[in-house]
Amino acid sequence: MASLPRLTIRSSLAATASVRPSTLRLQNFAKFGTRSVYGQATEYLQMNDLDLTESQRTVREAIAKICQKFPDEYWKKLDDNGTFSLDLHSALAKDGWLGICMPAQYGGAELGISEATIMMQTLSESGGGLTAASSVHMNIFGLEPVVKFGTQEQKDRWLPPLIAGKERACFGVTEPDTGLDTLKLKSLATKDPRSDSYTLRGSKIWTSTAQTAEKILILVRTTPLEEVKKSTEGLSLFYTDLDRSAVEITEIKKLGRAAVDSNMLMFDGWKVPKADLIGEEGNGFKMIMQGMNAERLLLGGEAIGLGFAGLRRAANYASERQVFGRPIGKNQGIQHPLAESWMKLESARLLLYQGAKL
């Protein structure tokens, strides 16, 4: 995780509307009041921003400002039609947020996982929920193995288009008969002795955003499971083109989160160049954990954002709903469970932020 350089103070609140993450390396903003002025996307910010650092607060305000362009009606329409949000992806890419954790030399901001977690919480909390968060989730920290283990040529080739929003990526790990037991993966990459490439065969399931992604980060075996001494060995990591002529992509129909596609991938005879292998062959599991461990924090932020969004709506409804001539929110039977929910959410948020800090 990159450390934050020292920041200088800038007092203009209006600058938040167009702030790019890269500017956080150069400047900062005066503290904002605890009340938000941005309406739907940020009306709940005052509940939990008092303990944020200057850079974290600036990220939260700037992302919320972008989210204001995507009201509830927008997300409902996408969910009804099962349409992926390219608009949000483009808006975040335009202002440089897809590279919030990436190195500056490739267009990133070099901010930490704490800022990225707050970004994902705010996307979810804005009303977009996991539809909004999942549309960019893979871009935020998925290529951390490339940053840490990729060659200079690979970083130059892969990171700039991802950060700029010109390419979208998906993540292929889970398989139909292994579930979350990553070490039991069976999809196999066989090295071709006649060419500088591998041939992949096997399947992946629950691969999100494969319908629109151009690239895939995929974990497969280069040594069969029965031939390795330890199950952590023999797994290799590739970042490569999602070749639709060799990969059969079938969308999985599901209840909820309809705007973000989930897919089954079947492949046999899929040629992948050796240049797309990350790090050393057989060390893929250790490398992929560099991204997956941090990803847990992003997912936690998204879940907490959902919780605060739900609590905000419940509290608003309690203030508006009139029964027997007064708002139901004046009754302790309504107040107490709302207060208990807030307490649990705040406890979870503080624990998550501590994890990100560490």
Region 82-105 average pLDDT:
91
The kind and range of the H/E element at 207 are: strand 197-208
pLDDT band at 257 (very low <50, low <70, confident <90, very high): confident
For residues 337 and 23, give the distance between their C-alpha atoms in angstroms, rounded to a whole number.
41
For residues 238 and 190, give the distance between their C-alpha atoms in angstroms, rounded to a whole number.
13
Q: How far are the Cα atoms of 247, 251, 260 from residue 254, in angstroms, in the given order?
A: 21, 9, 10
Say if strands 169-172 and 197-208 run parallel, antiparallel, or are unpaired: unpaired
Q: Considering only 2-6, 127-131, 174-178, 277-281, which range has the smallest mean pLDDT?
A: 2-6
pTM for this model (two decimals): 0.84
For residues 106 and 48, give the distance between their C-alpha atoms in angstroms, rounded to a whole number.
33
pLDDT by residue (tens digit) across 306-322?
999 999 889 999 999 99
For residues 338 and 342, give the distance between their C-alpha atoms in angstroms, rounded to a whole number.
6
Q: What rounded mean pLDDT belongs to the chain? A: 85
The alpha carbon of 168 is separated from its chain's Cα centroid by a whole number of angstroms, namely 12
In the chain, the domains with their CATH numbers are 167-287 (2.40.110.10)
pLDDT by residue (tens digit) across 111-155?
999 999 999 999 999 989 999 998 898 888 888 899 999 999 999
Say if strands 169-172 and 215-221 run parallel, antiparallel, or are unpaired: parallel
Percent of the chain with pLDDT over 70: 86
pLDDT of residue 30: 28
Query: Which two tokens mark 299?
Result: 């997912």
Residue with tokens 């009754």: 331
pLDDT by residue (tens digit) across 155-204?
999 999 999 999 999 999 999 988 778 888 999 999 988 888 999 999 99
pLDDT of residue 12: 29
Angle at 212 between CA 158 and CA 74, to 5 degrees: 120
Q: Considering only 116-120, 254-258, 306-310, 328-332, which range has the smallest mean pLDDT?
A: 254-258
Region 30-50 average pLDDT:
43
pLDDT of residue 26: 33
pLDDT band at 14 (very low <50, low <70, confident <90, very high): very low
pLDDT band at 47 (very low <50, low <70, confident <90, very high): very low
pLDDT band at 8 (very low <50, low <70, confident <90, very high): very low
Region 264-292 average pLDDT:
93
Q: How many residues does the chain have?
A: 358
